[in-house]
Amino acid sequence: MGTKVIFTATLLTLVFACANPADQKADEKSSAAEFQDSTKLAASKDLVESIEIAHGEKLFRKNEAIQFDLNLTFGGKERFNGTLFTRTDGSEVKMVDSAGVKYWDGSKVRLIPSDTNMKKARFDLLTWSYFFLAPYKLNDPGTNHAYLGDMPLGEASFPANKLTFSDGVGDTPDDWYIVYKDNNSDLLAAMAYIVTSGDTKVEEAEKDPHVITYEAYVEVSGVPFATQWNFWTWNKAGEMKKLLGSATLSNIKFEKKAGDTFNLAAL
């Protein structure tokens, strides 16, 4: 009886030892991939959270609106020189300069005077406000992050995520961004991006990607803001070969309550 038990146990051991090595390797590979995916997911979440904390998100959200003077130049020509007002969640945006008023109510554009270029106005309202609010928009519903590790940009390298959007999210869900975090301060250092607004397809936009670098940070009511934006050509190697444009931001002011800032009747 005892001999039989020993023989059976030995036979079972041999059966397991001779199991298909290909299956075992596949299981190990699957487990390693799952571990790697979970590690990358945690790293991408940590990157977003650290940027939000560095940018004082909780202090920022205590206010309903914010305004700043924006002087924007592209290709050697002044693109905008006036004041931009936005709700801190980006749901309403107003831009005012000597040419008039552009207003985004969350779904459509209103212009004063009405003969202003609608397509250009829509682009301006959504683009420049998004670049300003970027540190506070990274965790919006429908945003997806993939951790890329340390990525080169210019003469340095930065921890980076690739930011994409779920179908139907935002005005241009096909756009993507590479979000670079400063190693020392955790502030947003730069974002590479494509623009698919209008009739531009992803394939075309990806032939001409750009990057915005956030520089000259100052604190306003305990919240840091970049007061210099520089726009460059960009490629996957992180090269920035040509300066395309720049912007200076000044007179940044919070509004705890928006009041009549976005009141249509007041426009």
Domains and CATH numbers, the chain: 44-266 (2.50.20.10)
**Per-residue pLDDT, 173:** 66
**Per-residue pLDDT, 119:** 83
SS3 state at 240: coil
- Chunk the chain into consecutive blocks of 10 residues (it has 267) and report each block's average pLDDT, rounded to whole numbers: 46 48 59 59 94 98 98 95 98 95 93 84 94 97 95 97 83 83 97 81 84 98 98 97 97 96 77
First to last CA, the chain: 97
**Phi, psi (5° rounding) for residue 98?**
-65, -20
Other beta carbons within 10 angstroms of residue 200's beta carbon come to 14
DSSP result, 51-81? HHHHTTHHHHHTSSEEEEEEEEEETTEEEEE
Place of tokens 């609608």: 118
